[in-house]
Chains A and B, each alone.
Chain A
């Protein structure tokens, strides 16, 4: 079965540095999501794309976070500068469409540690 690819798997950085995460959704999936999951908590949506357009970034800290999906396929999430509180698992997911009953397929995530 096709999977959502994410890299890197782990990232350790110092505060004030810049970090970037990459996600390649399942081929043909129009909707792409970035979630942040703090240890012991449920994932929280950071940004949702429909093709190359952002449809929800209300929870994205825009002073330091940015996300893009230029060609409507793969996506990059960037943090600059990283802060200690950004340590978390960053999950990418994709779905065929943005319909409410659509199944989301998740990647294995990028575990970020900010020192």
Chain B
């Protein structure tokens, strides 16, 4: 069974600084997709960034980027120039193949200090 592990329950960052959220996963598949979702206090979850396992280049979306280490099965999210609106729970997620389920980690609560 595929598992997604987020070992840090909470993190804090100073506004305008950079923070990295960790995620590891376990799979026997060679082709899969990884995602980071953000869940603000309003609770509507939104996609932050996604990475295809077959791509060596790390995905980037504005201030958000990932460090994808396929051999180590590691998928961390880096948030640059942190803003107050970045405060939320962040979930790492994994999916493989059509009709497969999206499996989430337990999440990490990120707080941003003004």
Contact = CB atoms under 8 A, between A and B. Distances in A.
Interface of A: 3, 33, 40-45, 48, 50, 55-56, 89, 91, 93, 97-101, 103-104, 106-109
Given A100-B95, A101-B33, A89 B101 contact: no
What class of interface size applies to chain B in its complex with A?
20 to 34
B43 A109 contact: yes
Given A100-B96, A100-B97, A101-B33, A42 B52 contact: no
A104 B32 CA distance: 16
Given A42-B104, A56-B99, A103 B44 contact: no
Interface string B88-107: 00010101111111111111
Interface SS of chain B: loop
A48 to B, nearest CB: 6
Contact of A100 (B33, B43, B44, B107): B33
A42 B101 contact: no
A55 B97 CA distance: 13
A27 to B, nearest CB: 18
B47 interface: yes
B91 to A, nearest CB: 5
Of B42, B43, B95, B105, the most chain A CB neighbours within 10 A belong to B43
Contacts of A93: 45
